[in-house]
Structure 1
Amino acid sequence: MDVQLLLTALLLGIVEGLTEFLPISSTGHLIIVGDLLGYNDEASTVFKIVIQFAAILAVCWEYRERLIKVAVGLPREREAQRFVGLLFLGFLPAAVLGLMFHSVIKTVLFNPLTVATALVVGGLIILYVEKRAYRPRIDAVEKMGWADAVKIGFAQALAMIPGTSRSGSTIMGGLIFGLSRKTAAEFSFFLAIPTMFAATVYDLYKNWGLLHAQDLPVFAIGFVASFLSAMVAVKTFIRFISNHTFIGFAWYRIVFGLIVLASWQFGLVDWSEPSF
């Protein structure tokens, strides 16, 4: 097995885990870093699906007690049923629109230049939202209404554009619609579970023929790296947002996006080919 390929898998796994639940776009980072490392063949398509799945498993593990409580109480407890209903309503817009436009988005928009542009635009939106200082009216996921879940679901659907950030869209949407910072982040994490599980199953179904036994060591390293780094990111992020704004993430997005665009404009890096 190629040592360089294993190191690439390790790095991409860490990138996925650290960025999946931050408002900076994990897909965008994987496209850009994968393009730089030259890991953009057919195997990389499945690899990126696998490490994304690992990241969502990390969230499931972090919130395992709450998820188990909901699962056990679902048949008879109204609170558990309502929680699942909120997730279903939030999941629905991305599911419907994803099925309609999945192929077009993958073919047309999955390239570094689109990602860089979306990073900059998304950063500017975060700065705008923070400047408005929306007053929170909901301080717990359980206090959300059905309409709140649907609106945040449509915000999440915007993240089908690579570089936008699923967590960024849902968290900013949550702030705009009256959720506290912690509640917006937690609902974003919970909403990621059905959304990313569905996306993983669909992508694996579409790319099943690309799975090969010789790629298992690469996938295993990326999976473990993504799971562990996602655990660290989720724990740190929840503590961070309790006392900080998202302005730092906004400026990171803008600077990173502008660097990619500048490297393309001045011919420093050839970003002309899509990553997958």
Structure 2
Amino acid sequence: MSIWQAIILAIVEGLTEFLPISSTGHMIIASSLMGINELPITKIFTVNIQFGAILSVVVLYWRRFVQGLDFYFKLLIAFIPAALLGFAFNDLIDSMLESVLITALMLVLGGVVLLFVDKWFRHSTSTEISYKNAFLIGLAQCLAMIPGVSRSAASIIGGLAQGIDRKTAAEFSFFLAVPTMLAAGTYKLLTDLLGLEISDLLRFDLVKIQNSFDVIHPEDLQLLLIGNVVAFFVAMAAIKFFISFLTKYGFKMFGYYRIAVGVVLLALLAMGVDLKV
């Protein structure tokens, strides 16, 4: 992977992670078109640069992260469903993530849903999120375990369905991304990519932990650093854009866009292009 390829993937990650358009589908297309979808570093890279995107939320909304414990309790309650289901059904989720066809179909189906969301929830005006709201948003977020659904879309719609307005629902989705993506990214980095078992971490097996990092070559560290920096700044800009656009225009354009991306993936599959998640 070249530096320019790393920058392009990081831009794609930063642009799509917090928008309701599925970052997975976009990473598949970008890495496949550049011919790097089968490189070992690509999977490590796409997981690792999520941390840069996460940091953008903390920096952009830092005042919210230094407020009372009530904020963190709500995030914890919202995070629990994904944590429990993700741990219990990890193998099933991984098997679905390997299916580009599922990703493409969910992009199209999710796009159709977004075409009607504004009409369905036009009376959602509350700016307060209760503990019950947080838990139900967390349940809705679990739909994103199906590739192509979009974690952002699922959690925002989960908020809208409870009467919460677009801006408040979107911002809570950003906040919820921090523990969710941090936990999922760390777990995948340590287990799937570095080959560690949970028992190794609990025993603090330093030898095995150190040896596991041999899969990352020293020259790749520069790519990971550049990718996280780029993803951080692009994600920050994307979040600002999304809040402004969503408040004024709603979800319909994102729906059309999702359908177009899904159709592109289906077309590439039909043409026999080797696509990898």
Q: CA RMSD in A?
A: 1.6
Structure 2 length as normaliser, TM-score? 0.87
- Which of residues 17, 25, 29 in structure 1 aligns to 2:26? 29
Runs of 4+ that moved beyond 4 A: none
- Which of residues 150, 173, 191 in structure 2 aligns to 1:188? 173
Matches of 1:89 and 1:235 in 2, distance apart? 26
CA 1:238–1:108 in structure 2 vs 1: closer, same or farther (change >3 Å)?
Answer: closer
Q: Matched residue pairs, number?
A: 256
CA 1:45–1:262 in structure 2 vs 1: closer, same or farther (change >3 Å)?
Answer: closer
Matches of 2:63 and 2:103 in 1, distance apart? 36
Structural mapping, 1:226-241, within 5 Å: 226-241=231-246
Deviation at 1:65, TM superposition (A): 2.3
1:129 alignment partner in structure 2 = 117
Matches of 1:186 and 1:220 in 2, distance apart? 27
1:13 alignment partner in structure 2 = 10
State the Cα deviation string for residues 133-162 of structure 1 (Å, max 9, x = none).
Answer: 3412421xxx21221111110110111111
State the Cα deviation string for residues 59-84 of structure 1 (Å, max 9, x = none).
Answer: 111011221x22xxxxxxxxx22211
State the Cα deviation string for residues 193-234 of structure 1 (Å, max 9, x = none).
Answer: 111111122112112333232211221221121111111101
2:70 alignment partner in structure 1 = 82
2:263 alignment partner in structure 1 = 258
Question: Any unmatched runs of 5+ in structure 1?
Answer: 71-79
2:57 alignment partner in structure 1 = 59
Matches of 1:100 and 1:33 in 2, distance apart? 31
Secondary structure of the corresponding residue to residue 242 of structure 1: helix
1:201 alignment partner in structure 2 = 186
Q: 2:141 touches 2:154 (CA, 8 Å); kept in 1?
A: yes
Deviation at 1:249, TM superposition (A): 0.2
1:221 maps onto 2:226 in alignment: yes
Matches of 1:157 and 1:63 in 2, distance apart? 24
CA 1:145–1:51 in structure 2 vs 1: closer, same or farther (change >3 Å)?
Answer: same
Deviation at 1:102, TM superposition (A): 2.1
Secondary structure of the corresponding residue to residue 2 of structure 2: helix
Secondary structure of the corresponding residue to residue 58 of structure 1: helix
2:276 alignment partner in structure 1 = 274
Deviation at 1:46, TM superposition (A): 1.3
Secondary structure of the corresponding residue to residue 15 of structure 2: helix
1:103 alignment partner in structure 2 = 91
Matches of 1:91 and 1:31 in 2, distance apart? 26
Deviation at 1:50, TM superposition (A): 1.4
Question: Any unmatched runs of 5+ in structure 2?
Answer: 195-211
Identity %: 44
Structure 1 length as normaliser, TM-score? 0.87
Structural mapping, 1:114-193, within 5 Å: 114-139=102-127, 143-193=128-178
